[in-house]
């Protein structure tokens, strides 16, 4: 590691400056969520507010706060959005990982007719944006009675995430030394057992990496959700953000507060699995 | 690639179905993916394909009528569509390349910082956690001409109101949405390249140290070449995603003013939903998706080629 | 083989879990409705209503209705106006309507007529029940000789201006020096333009004489109301676009001249409603036309720097002697798919009765019953703020004389979508007013022809 121990002062400085630039909008978002609205939309700017408070958060969580007058999105059903978002994101991540891994296993472990064709078709599905799918999906889902439900979202997001998962995972499964699973089989393990005992643990980092991407994609998806969800039974955070700029409502602070709340689960999730992420991406890129 | 060497079902099957699974198993494994993909992507695409040959509108009463290629002809005559398509290509090219270069440089710089890598990585990933909708709202506000952050900073610097209409002026509007896009997605590149750099065996770098190579030489001759697969994969994924750009632009400028920042999907959305011309919107989706598919196909060919060279 | 079987089983179970999850959810809902069916005589009225802010206060009175009639009312959808519009359009197109009563709007309902989504209401309401609503508003809900929507409350825009500028001696003196005229609140659009251009020369940097919302329907609508005031028409009798005549050119030229002279914020073409309101409360604008609906927000010193520093006036008049008055009303409709149309009408009657309209009026809405108006104007006199009374009286005057909705035709929004980018191009100086409007008219005509209005 002596290479890395050398001083790279320049690199360090660059890194910190860049990080700061990337952080400014985040910090500004947090700061704005605590300022009164009158200090947010103003010129000259109020850089250092003396009236900071957590009212916008309290209002979101349903605690009583002093009424600020007409024009504020105090009645935003934060709890419903949170439940819908977390169920849709976790549910679709779970299914995408299972289904995608099975597909990846097929791609990386077998050679069969049409393999590249199917692989490519799956990837191409990623090129189709949600808007192009949204209205036909609404018609279909309505017929199946899953429009405006969380399961409907889960199905849509699962499909959205399967291709990328399959792709990343195929890199991982391909990386597993064949000798290992063969050795396991010689030891008397069935093919299935070797899959479970040898291969699954080795693909952990891959699952983590794919999991992060799937979770974030579903958590932040807007185009499909904006069409197939309509009520608090299924509306997610990105759709709910628009509650703050409806007719005669302009609550920028409230919107920032909800944005911050929306980031928290994503951050927790990313921190939890990020160590595996780098490893996961390494393998996913080289193989697959 | 690892494929042909797995021997399945060494013992002859007692069950007819599974004795043939040598050929079937891979398809069986693929079945769930294919089913769910058909359900959510295939069916809607077929549906809008059929619709694109009709005069279906969101408010028409009675069933849609078949109109042949009329919608496609209308499209090719529409100068806004052509320009939006070109603009989307430009947008994609500039954004992907800027994100690539920035991502590479930042990843390289970050790789030299040993302590606190985990924290740094989490921080750099923050923009990735933002919903595109949210980035749109944030940057629309940051670049607001009256009370936005940027103009307010300029106000403090110059001591008098500096009103730059970031989202309006040519070419500022386009640059502004690019900045938001680059801010949001460079971290994806950084993370992937960082993973790639970490995978370079340190012996190679140490050997080059002995040879007296400069930092720049090492970067060009060792880091970049070993990153090639990562670069392709990251560029491929980003190109696909940017070709779909909608959320961010729709909120920041809505494609306006006067179509100045119109991208393909903001235009399709307005045609299909606001103007209620769902059939025309479908035709437009089809053309665009077709182009995206060709592009993807090309990218994947490249990717496979690079991998073969590596192996 | 066992192992292969296991893989197969794993795959199947994944699918099954996914399926089961779906069924469970759908099943759960069915169970719910099955539970309701136990009482067969129970009539359930489902509604898609506007949600948010103070709109929902009205729905709190619904239990009273349920108690009185024995029906059950379920609000199955709540969203803002544009969300409901999108939902109604997609539902009518996809045949997925599962509600009896829907929110409606004077600018939107013609689309729903075209989609055969709503029904005429005159058979469900007596003349007497309707006569209390302001006639001009009620008429805005008629089309093809039928009444389609029952109004709930309306809005119309009026001129907002800063008293600390218009009544300020310093400004008055400077304005006189620069223009040779007295600084007065404009009564016509010509005066409006002149005043704005003059004011801009004396306002401190960073302040603007005026502004308009600058995109989407907001822009087309503003253009439309000036067009009408100047004696123009958007469509002629045969539904041919007529907005490119002299009146339209004059209106578009005014917008462009104001923008090019710097009398409007340069970001104007990206503003929608909340942005113009934001600029106003930030104190950056001297005068502009705005909806009454924001009043309490503007008067709240916690969110507005102009609280107590502004006054309102009737919308300016154009060459045709007509006051601008882009207006619209929130209303209720009954869906064609409803199985309980009579009961649905009862619910609408309840929601728009005197008590409920009074309740909504107290929240700041401009309601449509004349009897309620009398009462609230009396009450406002007690409040001590003369602007409160002035606002109500002005709103009532405008509602009975200036109330003009956009053309009642399903193609209004598609037309707007064609016209507004071209208006933006005119404002930004990319296109000449006449040439631009001619181009827009050509495109609108082609669209109308395609929609079957003429051969």
What is the predicted pLDDT for the residue at B271? 87
Q: Rounded mean pLDDT of B55-64?
A: 71
Instruction: Tell me which residue in B120, B142, B206 faces A25 most closely, judged by beta carbons.
Output: B142
Confidence bin at B100 (pLDDT 50/70/90): very high
* Contacts of C among chains (3+ CB pairs under 8 A): A, B
What is the predicted pLDDT for the residue at C40? 55
Q: Is A215 exposed, middle or buried (0-12, 13-18, 19+ CB in 10 A)?
A: buried
> Cβ–Cβ contacts within 10 Å for residue A231, how many?
19
Instruction: Tell me which residue in B125, B198, B282 faces A270 most closely, judged by beta carbons.
Output: B125
In chain A, the percentage of residues whose pLDDT exceeds 90 is: 23
Instruction: Tell me which residue in C92, C206, C270 faces B253 most closely, judged by beta carbons.
Output: C270
Strands C287-291 and C310-313: unpaired
A53 and chain C: CB distance < 8 Å anywhere? no
Cα angle, residue C364 at apex, residues C361 and C370 outer, rounded to 5°:
35
CA C257 from centre of chain = 27
Q: Report the alpha-carbon distance of residue C438 to residue C289 in Å, rounded.
A: 27
Main-chain dihedrals φ then ψ at residue C327, nearest 5 degrees: -140, 165
What is the predicted pLDDT for the residue at A14? 81
Compare all CA atoms of chain B with the CA of C14 and give the residue at the minimum distance. B32
Confidence bin at C134 (pLDDT 50/70/90): very high
Please indicate whether residue B311 or residue A18 has the higher confidence score (pLDDT): A18
**Residues C93, B11: C-beta atoms closer than 8 Å:** no
Residue B35 scores a pLDDT above 50: yes
Residue C38 scores a pLDDT above 50: no
Instruction: Tell me which residue in B118, B240, B265 faces A275 most closely, judged by beta carbons.
Output: B118
Here the ipTM equals 0.87
Domain coordinates in residue numbering, chain C? 44-148+327-401, 157-326+406-450
Residues of B in contact with A45 (CB under 8 A): 147, 149, 152-153, 155-156
In chain C, the percentage of residues whose pLDDT exceeds 70 is: 91
**Residues C77, A146: C-beta atoms closer than 8 Å:** no
Instruction: Tell me which residue in B27, B36, B124 faces A19 most closely, judged by beta carbons.
Output: B124
Spatial CA neighbour of C217 closest among B263, B256, A131 = B256
Tokens of C409: 């035709």
Region of poorest pLDDT, from A177-191, B114-128, C279-293: A177-191
Instruction: Tell me which residue in C205, C430, C450 faces B161 most closely, judged by beta carbons.
Output: C205
Reduce the secondary structure of C316-383 to three states and give it as a string: CECCCCCECCEEEEEEEEEECCCCCHHHHHHHHHHHCCHHHHHHHHHCCCEECEHHHHHHHHHHHCCC
Tokens of A203: 């693909």
Residue C13 scores a pLDDT above 90: no
pLDDT averaged over every residue in chain A: 82
Co-location of A83 and A41 in the same domain: no
Please indicate whether residue A283 or residue C316 has the higher confidence score (pLDDT): C316
Region of poorest pLDDT, from A90-104, A273-287, C95-109, C187-201: A273-287
For the residues of C156-191, what is the DSSP string, one character each?
EEEEEEEHHHHT-HHHHHHHHHHHSS-----SBHHH
- Name the A residues in 204-233 with CB < 8 Å from any C CB: 227, 230-232
Q: For C253-293, write each residue's pLDDT tens digit.
A: 999 999 999 999 999 999 988 889 989 999 999 999 999 98
Q: Is C255 exposed, middle or buried (0-12, 13-18, 19+ CB in 10 A)?
A: buried
Q: Which of C82, C270, C451 to substitute to test the interface with B, most B CBs within 10 Å? A: C270
- Name the C residues in 22-61 with CB < 8 Å from any B CB: none
Q: Provide the number of structural domains found in chain A.
A: 2
**Residues B258, C410: C-beta atoms closer than 8 Å:** no
Q: Which of C267, C412, C428, C442 to substitute to test the interface with B, most B CBs within 10 Å? A: C267
What is the predicted pLDDT for the residue at A7? 54
What is the predicted pLDDT for the residue at A116? 80
What is the predicted pLDDT for the residue at B19? 38
Co-location of A118 and A23 in the same domain: no
What is the predicted pLDDT for the residue at A6? 52
Residue A242 lies in a domain: yes
Please indicate whether residue C14 or residue B169 has the higher confidence score (pLDDT): B169
Q: Report the alpha-carbon distance of residue C449 to residue B132 in Å, rounded.
A: 38
Task: Using the structure block, give the residue that is written with the tokens 């009563």.
Answer: C101
A158 and chain C: CB distance < 8 Å anywhere? yes
**Residues C115, B59: C-beta atoms closer than 8 Å:** yes
Instruction: Provide the shortest C-alpha distance from residue B8 to chain C (in Å).
Output: 9
Co-location of A98 and A126 in the same domain: yes
Q: Report the alpha-carbon distance of residue C426 to residue C435 in Å, rounded.
A: 9
**Residues C11, B31: C-beta atoms closer than 8 Å:** yes
Q: Report the alpha-carbon distance of residue B31 to residue B38 in Å, rounded.
A: 10
**Residues A136, B293: C-beta atoms closer than 8 Å:** no
Co-location of A38 and A90 in the same domain: no
Compare all CA atoms of chain C with the CA of B16 and give the residue at the minimum distance. C1
Q: Rounded mean pLDDT of A37-45?
A: 83
Instruction: Provide the shortest C-alpha distance from residue B259 to chain A (in Å).
Output: 19
CATH code, A213: 1.10.3720.10
Instruction: Tell me which residue in A71, A75, A155 faces C297 most closely, judged by beta carbons.
Output: A71
Q: Which residues pair with C310 in a beta bridge?
A: C162
Write the CB contacts of B168 (distance below 8 Å, at least 6 apart in sequence): B145, B257, B260, C266, C267, C268, C269, C270, C428
Q: Rounded mean pLDDT of C6-15?
A: 52
Q: Report the alpha-carbon distance of residue C368 to residue C150 in Å, rounded.
A: 10
> 0.90 exceeded by the pTM?
no
Residue B1 scores a pLDDT above 50: no
Distances C179 to B177, C195, C209, C287 between C-alpha atoms, Å: 41, 9, 14, 18
What is the predicted pLDDT for the residue at C9? 53
Task: Using the structure block, give the residue that is written with the tokens 């439940």.
Answer: A83
Q: Which of C12, C16, C53 to substitute to test the interface with A, most A CBs within 10 Å? A: C53
Q: Rounded mean pLDDT of A45-71?
A: 78
Instruction: Tell me which residue in B59, B167, B276 faces C267 most closely, judged by beta carbons.
Output: B167
Confidence bin at C95 (pLDDT 50/70/90): confident
Q: Report the alpha-carbon distance of residue A255 to residue A245 in Å, rounded.
A: 8
Residue A181 scores a pLDDT above 70: no
Task: Using the structure block, give the residue that is written with the tokens 């080795």.
Answer: A202
Q: Angle, to 10 degrees, between the axis of helix A252-286 and the axis of helix A78-109?
A: 10
What is the predicted pLDDT for the residue at A148? 86
Tokens of A148: 């405006």
CA B310 from centre of chain = 25
Q: For C138-153, write each residue's pLDDT tens digit.
A: 999 999 999 999 999 9
Confidence bin at B59 (pLDDT 50/70/90): low
Query: Which fold does the domain C44-148+327-401 belong to in CATH?
Result: D-Maltodextrin-Binding Protein; domain 2 (3.40.190)
Residue A55 scores a pLDDT above 50: yes
Instruction: Assign domain C157-326+406-450 one CATH number from 3.30.420.10, 3.30.565.10, 3.40.1190.20, 3.40.190.10.
Output: 3.40.190.10
Tokens of C260: 């090019």
Q: Is C276 exposed, middle or buried (0-12, 13-18, 19+ CB in 10 A)?
A: buried
Domain extent, residue A29, equals 2-60
Instruction: Please indicate whether the domains covering C44-148+327-401 and C157-326+406-450 agree at the CATH topology level.
Output: yes
Distances B209 to A3, A223, B111 between C-alpha atoms, Å: 8, 51, 16
**Residues B233, A2: C-beta atoms closer than 8 Å:** no
Q: Which of C13, C108, C204, C274 to substitute to test the interface with A, most A CBs within 10 Å? A: C274
Residue A157 lies in a domain: yes
> Cβ–Cβ contacts within 10 Å for residue B290, how many?
11
Tokens of A236: 């997610």
What is the predicted pLDDT for the residue at C197? 96
Contact C304, C298 (CB under 8 A): yes
What 3-state class would DSSP assign to B93? Answer: helix
Max CA pair span of chain B? 87
Write the CB contacts of A159 (distance below 8 Å, at least 6 apart in sequence): A125, B36, B37, B39, B40, B41
Q: For C325-363, write each residue's pLDDT tens digit.
A: 899 999 999 999 999 999 999 999 999 999 999 999 988
Residues of B in contact with A191 (CB under 8 A): 8-9
Q: Which residues pair with C154 in a beta bridge?
A: C329, C366
Instruction: Tell me which residue in B120, B130, B147 faces A19 most closely, judged by beta carbons.
Output: B120
Residue B3 scores a pLDDT above 50: no
Q: For C66-82, write each residue's pLDDT tens digit.
A: 999 999 999 888 877 77
Q: Report the alpha-carbon distance of residue B118 to residue B98 in Å, rounded.
A: 25
Residue C183 scores a pLDDT above 90: yes
Q: Rounded mean pLDDT of B179-207?
A: 87
Compare all CA atoms of chain C with the CA of B272 and give the residue at the minimum distance. C414
What is the predicted pLDDT for the residue at B22? 56
**Residues A281, B192: C-beta atoms closer than 8 Å:** yes
Instruction: Assign domain B67-310 one CATH number from 3.30.1120.80, 1.10.357.10, 1.10.3720.10, 1.10.287.1080.
Output: 1.10.3720.10
pLDDT averaged over every residue in chain C: 88
C205 and chain B: CB distance < 8 Å anywhere? yes
What is the predicted pLDDT for the residue at A68? 56
Region of poorest pLDDT, from A121-125, A232-236, B86-90, C21-25: C21-25
Spatial CA neighbour of C328 closest among C157, C180, C85, C119 = C157
**Residues A263, B199: C-beta atoms closer than 8 Å:** no
Please indicate whether residue A245 or residue C437 has the higher confidence score (pLDDT): C437
Question: Alpha-carbon torsion A70, A73, A79, A83, what sign?
Answer: positive
What is the predicted pLDDT for the residue at B7? 34
**Residues B168, C18: C-beta atoms closer than 8 Å:** no
């Amino acid at each position: 590691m002596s290479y890395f121990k050398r001083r790279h002062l320049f690199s360090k400085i660059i890194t910190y400056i860049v990080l700061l630039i990337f952080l400014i909008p985040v910090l500004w978002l947090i700061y704005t969520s605590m300022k009164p609205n009158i200090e947010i939309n103003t010129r000259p700017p109020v850089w250092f507010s003396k009236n900071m408070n957590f009212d916008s958060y309290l209002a979101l969580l349903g605690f009583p706060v002093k009424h600020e007058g007409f024009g504020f999105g105090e009645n935003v059903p934060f709890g419903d959005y949170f439940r819908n978002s977390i169920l849709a994101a976790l549910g679709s991540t779970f299914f995408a990982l299972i289904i995608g891994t099975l597909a990846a296993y097929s791609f990386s472990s077998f050679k069969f007719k049409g393999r590249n064709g199917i692989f490519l078709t799956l990837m191409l599905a990623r090129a189709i944006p949600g808007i192009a799918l949204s209205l036909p999906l609404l018609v279909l889902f309505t017929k199946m009675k899953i429009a405006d439900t969380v399961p409907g979202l889960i199905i849509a997001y699962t499909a959205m995430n399967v291709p990328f998962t399959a792709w990343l995972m195929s890199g991982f499964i391909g990386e597993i030394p064949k000798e290992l699973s063969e050795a396991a089989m010689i030891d008397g393990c069935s093919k299935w057992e070797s899959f479970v005992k040898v291969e699954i643990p080795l693909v952990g980092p891959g699952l983590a990496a794919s999991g992060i991407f799937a979770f974030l994609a579903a958590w932040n998806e807007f185009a499909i959700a904006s069409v197939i969800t309509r009520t608090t039974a299924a509306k997610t955070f990105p759709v709910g953000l628009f509650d703050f700029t409806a007719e005669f409502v302009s609550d920028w602070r409230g919107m920032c507060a909800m944005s911050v709340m929306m980031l928290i689960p994503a951050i927790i999730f990313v921190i939890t699995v990020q160590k595996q992420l780098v490893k996961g991406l390494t393998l996913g890129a080289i193989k697959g | 690639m690892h494929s042909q060497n797995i021997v399945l079902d060494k013992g002859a099957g007692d069950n007819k179905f599974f004795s043939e699974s040598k050929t079937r198993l891979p398809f069986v494994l693929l079945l769930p993916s294919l089913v769910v993909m058909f359900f959510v992507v295939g069916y809607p695409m077929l549906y809008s394909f059929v619709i694109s040959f009709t005069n279906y509108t969101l408010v028409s009463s009675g069933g849609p009528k078949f109109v042949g290629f009329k919608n496609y002809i209308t499209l090719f005559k529409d100068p806004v569509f052509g320009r939006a398509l070109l603009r989307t290509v430009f947008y994609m090219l500039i954004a992907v390349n800027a994100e690539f270069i920035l991502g590479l440089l930042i990843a390289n710089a970050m790789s030299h910082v040993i302590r606190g890598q985990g924290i740094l990585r989490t921080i750099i990933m923050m923009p990735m956690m933002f919903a595109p909708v949210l980035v749109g709202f944030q940057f629309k506000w940051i670049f607001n001409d009256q009370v936005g952050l940027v103009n307010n900073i300029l106000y403090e610097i110059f001591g008098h109101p500096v009103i730059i209409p970031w989202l309006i002026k040519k070419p500022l509007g386009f640059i502004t949405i690019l900045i938001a896009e680059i801010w949001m997605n460079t971290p994806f590149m950084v993370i992937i390249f960082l993973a790639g750099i970490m995978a370079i065996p340190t012996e190679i770098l140490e050997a080059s140290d002995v040879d007296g190579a400069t930092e720049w030489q090492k970067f060009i001759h060792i880091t970049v070449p070993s990153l090639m697969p990562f670069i392709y994969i990251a560029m491929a994924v980003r190109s696909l995603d940017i070709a779909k750009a909608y959320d961010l632009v729709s909120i920041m400028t809505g494609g306006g003013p006067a179509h100045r920042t119109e991208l393909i999907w903001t235009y399709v959305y307005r045609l299909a939903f606001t103007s209620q011309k769902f059939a025309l919107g479908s035709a437009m989706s089809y053309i665009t998706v077709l182009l995206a598919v060709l592009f993807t196909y090309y990218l994947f060919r490249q990717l496979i080629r690079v991998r073969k060279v590596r192996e | 083989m066992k192992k292969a079987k296991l893989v197969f089983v794993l795959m199947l179970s994944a699918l099954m879990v996914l399926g089961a999850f779906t069924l469970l959810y759908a099943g759960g809902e069915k169970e719910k409705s099955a539970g309701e069916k136990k009482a067969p005589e129970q009539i359930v009225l489902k509604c898609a209503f506007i949600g948010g802010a103070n709109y929902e206060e009205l729905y709190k009175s619904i239990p009273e209705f349920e108690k009185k009639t024995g029906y059950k009312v379920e609000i199955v959808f709540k969203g803002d106006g544009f969300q409901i519009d999108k939902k109604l359009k997609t539902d009518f197109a996809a045949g997925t309507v599962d509600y009896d009563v829907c929110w409606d709007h004077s600018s939107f309902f013609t689309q729903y007529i075209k989609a055969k989504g709503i029904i005429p209401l005159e058979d469900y309401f007596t003349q007497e029940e309707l006569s209390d609503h302001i006639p001009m508003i009620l008429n805005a809900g008629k089309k093809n000789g039928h009444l389609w929507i029952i109004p709930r409350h309306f809005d119309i825009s009026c001129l907002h201006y800063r008293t600390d500028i218009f009544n300020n001696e310093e400004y008055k003196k400077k304005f006189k020096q620069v223009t040779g005229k007295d600084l007065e609140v404009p009564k016509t659009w010509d005066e409006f333009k002149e005043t704005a251009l003059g004011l801009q020369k004396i306002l401190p940097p960073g302040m603007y004489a005026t502004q308009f919302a600058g995109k989407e329907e907001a822009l087309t609508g503003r253009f439309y109301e000036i067009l009408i005031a100047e004696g123009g028409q958007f469509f002629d009798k045969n539904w041919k676009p007529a907005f490119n005549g002299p009146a339209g050119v004059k209106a578009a030229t005014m917008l462009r001249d104001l923008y090019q002279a710097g009398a409007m914020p340069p970001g104007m073409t990206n503003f929608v409603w909340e942005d113009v309101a934001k600029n106003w409360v930030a104190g950056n604008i001297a005068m502009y036309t705005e909806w009454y609906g924001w009043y309490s927000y503007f008067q709240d010193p916690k969110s507005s720097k102009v609280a107590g520093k502004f006054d309102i006036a009737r919308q300016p008049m154009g060459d045709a002697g007509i006051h601008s008055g882009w207006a619209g009303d929130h209303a209720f409709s009954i869906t064609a798919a409803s199985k309980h149309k009579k009961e649905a009408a009862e619910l609408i009657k309840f929601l728009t009765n005197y008590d409920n309209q009074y309740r909504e009026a107290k929240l700041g809405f401009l309601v449509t019953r004349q009897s309620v108006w009398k009462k609230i104007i009396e009450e406002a006199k007690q409040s001590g703020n003369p602007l409160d009374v002035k606002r109500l009286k002005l709103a009532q005057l405008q509602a009975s004389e200036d109330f003009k909705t956009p053309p009642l035709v399903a193609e209004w929004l598609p037309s707007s979508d064609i016209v507004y980018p071209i208006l933006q191009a005119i404002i930004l100086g990319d296109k000449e007013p006449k040439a631009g409007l001619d181009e827009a008219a050509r495109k609108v005509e082609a669209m109308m022809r395609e929609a079957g209005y003429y051969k």
